[in-house]
Structure 1
Amino acid sequence: MGSCLAKSTSDGDDSDHNVEFAGGNVQLITTKESWEQKLAEAKRDGKIVVANFSAAWCGPCKMIAPFYVELSEKHPSLMFLTVDVDELTEFSTTWDIKATPTFFFLKDGQQVDKLVGANKPELQKKMIAILDSENPCET
């Protein structure tokens, strides 16, 4: 499915920056400190983090954003974060983002799964697998 290759320069159009990427229970991460704060919060609360590394100019990112928000509302036991790779370039580089969107699934700050591309069925499948692994008795 669709994904955008990382773009090295910003085109300067920040007017509607990230408007469509936050909503529902999705929290927009704009600093490394807020990322660390949210991971610590998730660890304390025993929540798995779903992190969406995306970009405002990326078509597939925009396409999957409403679905991601919808998933955040359906699964309040997970923590949903969005990181703009252009806004946090250096931080995103440490995660080795080669294309957007890239979704990471983190437990206690450690990666347990990853999905590259705007693949709705695969994202939902991975989310269900993670939820099942956390709550084997619930279906």
Structure 2
Amino acid sequence: MGLCLCRSRADDNDSDVHVEFVGGNVKHVTTKEDWDYKLAEAKNEGKIVLANFSATWCGPCKTIASFYCELSEKYPSLMFLLIDVDELTEFSTSWEIKATPTFFFLKDGQQVDKLVGANKPELQKKIDAVLAL
């Protein structure tokens, strides 16, 4: 995904793009310990986690990046996480990521739904469904 919180080197000179995608309430997960901490935080706050497994080189990930950031602002009752599959290769493999982006919905650390692909209407539909849980 890269553009939301972690930029690729090619984006370094494009500050307008950087500013546009840094916003929102998306939290970038950089370690397994960071993941565990954020899941515990979400559980303590009674939040459902939406975890986006993406890659900086992935076209569909870049396409949905701004929408994901917008959703993070629209739904503060959810915790939006970003995991770069290239930064956390082993961790991503443990989640059996076969395509990017892949979105996991987690309640109390347990998967309640999943979406593979950059399908904005389907992502919105799944958010609405998990909020009804």
| Aligned-partner residue type, residue 51 of structure 2 | A
1:46 aligns to what?
46
Give 5+ residue unaligned stretches, structure 1: 1-12, 134-139
Offset at 1:132? Answer: 1.7
1:100 aligns to what?
100
Root-mean-square deviation (CA, aligned residues, Å) is 1.7
1:1-139 aligned within 5 A: 14-15=8-9, 16=11, 22-133=22-133
State the distance in 2 between where 1:56 and 1:132 align. Answer: 32
Scaled by the length of structure 1, the TM-score of the pair is 0.82
Offset at 1:108? Answer: 0.5
Displaced runs of 4+ in structure 1, greater than 4 A? 19-22
**Contact 1:21–1:82, Cα closer than 8 Å, also in 2:** no
Q: Percent identity?
A: 76
Give the total of aligned pairs: 120
Structure whose residues are more often helix by fraction:
2
State the distance in 1 between where 2:62 and 2:124 align. Answer: 17
- Aligned to 1:99, the other structure's residue is in SS state coil
| Aligned-partner residue type, residue 114 of structure 1 | K
The 1:34/1:22 distance shift into structure 2, 3 A limit, reads farther
State the distance in 2 between where 1:63 and 1:50 align. Answer: 18
State the distance in 1 between where 2:87 and 2:57 align. Answer: 12
- Aligned to 1:96, the other structure's residue is in SS state coil
- Aligned to 2:131, the other structure's residue is in SS state helix
Scaled by the length of structure 2, the TM-score of the pair is 0.85
The 1:112/1:21 distance shift into structure 2, 3 A limit, reads farther
State the distance in 1 between where 2:124 and 2:72 align. Answer: 11
| Aligned-partner residue type, residue 122 of structure 2 | E
